[in-house]
Amino acid sequence: DAEITQSPRHKITETGRQVTLACHQTWNHNNMFWYRQDLGHGLRLIHYSYGVQDTNKGEVSDGYSVSRSNTEDLPLTLESAASSQTSVYFCASSVGTGGTGELFFGEGSRLTVL
């Protein structure tokens, strides 16, 4: 079955370290998204991509970067992790133009920055 997987599921890191969260989908979806979920804030969009070589900033993109070199993967990099980036991160994908359809979510990556 097609799926979307995130790794690692749990990570603890130290302030200032670079961290990369992986997201891989096997649906061949054009659109991929990264959200973070924090208590009291719901889900907030970090970065998104509507196709290979396309990336766009979301609402809370500072301190994060993404690259889209193929259809299946959209890794999220924290260049220099900060305690404020402790959160649960969700990757999602969708088919269609401009992300019009339903989103399929991964199971999340819980990141703790000490």
Partner 1 sequence: SQQGEEDPQALSIQEGENATMNCSYKTSINNLQWYRQNSGRGLVHLILIRSNEREKHSGRLRVTLDTSKKSSSLLITASRAADTASYFCAARNSGNTPLVFGKGTRLSVIA
- Chosen residue from 48, 64, 85, 113 binding partner 1 by CB under 8 A: 48
Sheet holding 76-78, edge to edge: 4-7, 19-25, 76-78, 64-66
Q: Is 81 helix (H, G, I), strand (E, B) or coil?
A: coil
Q: Does 58 bind partner 1 (CB under 8 A)?
A: yes
- What 3-state DSSP class applies to 103? coil
101 touches partner 1 (CB under 8 A)? yes
CA atoms in the 13 A half-sphere facing the CB of 34: 31
Which residue lies nearer to partner 1 by CB, 80 or 92? 92
Q: Between residue 20 and residue 39, which ones bind partner 1 under the rule CB under 8 A?
A: 31, 33, 35
Residues that bind partner 1 (CB under 8 A): 31, 33, 35, 40-45, 48, 50, 58-59, 90, 92, 97-108
